[in-house]
């Protein structure tokens, strides 16, 4: 029996400015659809997490990342799939974030973050934002 878990590696960017973070609404037809998310996406085979972060943030919110620090790595089993999130704090970028793929996006004050609006895997990120960045 194969008990090895196949994780989907994902680069996730917590874009920070003025005690706010830029979040996007996941399309309803996607995994965890209807939840808010930190922009990001799947890391390609052989791709470094930082490069995937820069690529996904350009594709999804049209910014050029100039400063990012690893925040945490989270492994989460959704039942239908297992994800490994490589989470970065994005503290420097060129351009103004926008929903470049037609999705809704907004600057969310860190004080207003509600864990229930995000995918379950994001719990630890939100707890860190509460303690580290406020």
Ligand X SMILES: Nc1nc2c([nH]c(=O)n2[C@@H]2O[C@H](COP(=O)(O)OP(=O)(O)OP(=O)(O)O)[C@@H](O)[C@H]2O)c(=O)[nH]1
Tell me if 99 contacts Mg ion by CB under 5 A: no
Coil, strand or helix at 79: coil
d(CA 10, CA 84): 6
Closest distance between Mg ion and the C-beta of residue 12, in Å? 9
Query: By CB under 5 A, how many residues form the interface with Mg ion?
Result: 1
Q: What are phi and psi of 36, to 5 degrees?
A: -80, 150
Residues from 33 through 62 that contact Mg ion (CB under 5 A): 41
Instruction: Kindly report the number of other CB atoms within 10 A of residue 86's CB atom.
Output: 21
Q: Which does 71 bind (CB under 5 to 8 A by kind): ligand X, Mg ion, none?
A: none
Closer residue to Mg ion (CB): 41 or 99: 41
Q: Which does 16 bind (CB under 5 to 8 A by kind): ligand X, Mg ion, none?
A: none
Closer residue to Mg ion (CB): 41 or 95: 41
Helix (H) or strand (E) holding 125: helix 123-132
- Report the interface residues with Mg ion, using CB under 5 A: 41
């Amino acid at each position: 029996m194969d008990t090895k878990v196949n994780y989907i590696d994902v680069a996730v960017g917590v874009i920070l400015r003025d005690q706010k973070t830029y979040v996007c609404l996941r399309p309803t037809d996607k995994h965890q659809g209807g939840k808010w998310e930190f922009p990001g996406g799947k890391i390609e085979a052989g791709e470094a997490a930082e490069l995937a972060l820069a690529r996904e943030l350009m594709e999804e919110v049209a910014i050029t990342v100039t400063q990012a620090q690893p925040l945490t790595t989270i492994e989460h089993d959704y039942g239908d799939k297992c994800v490994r999130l490589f989470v970065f704090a994005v503290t420097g970028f060129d351009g103004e974030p926008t929903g470049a793929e037609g999705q809704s996006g907004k600057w969310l004050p860190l004080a207003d973050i509600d864990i229930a609006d995000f995918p379950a895997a994001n719990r630890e990120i939100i707890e860190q934002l509460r303690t580290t960045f406020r």
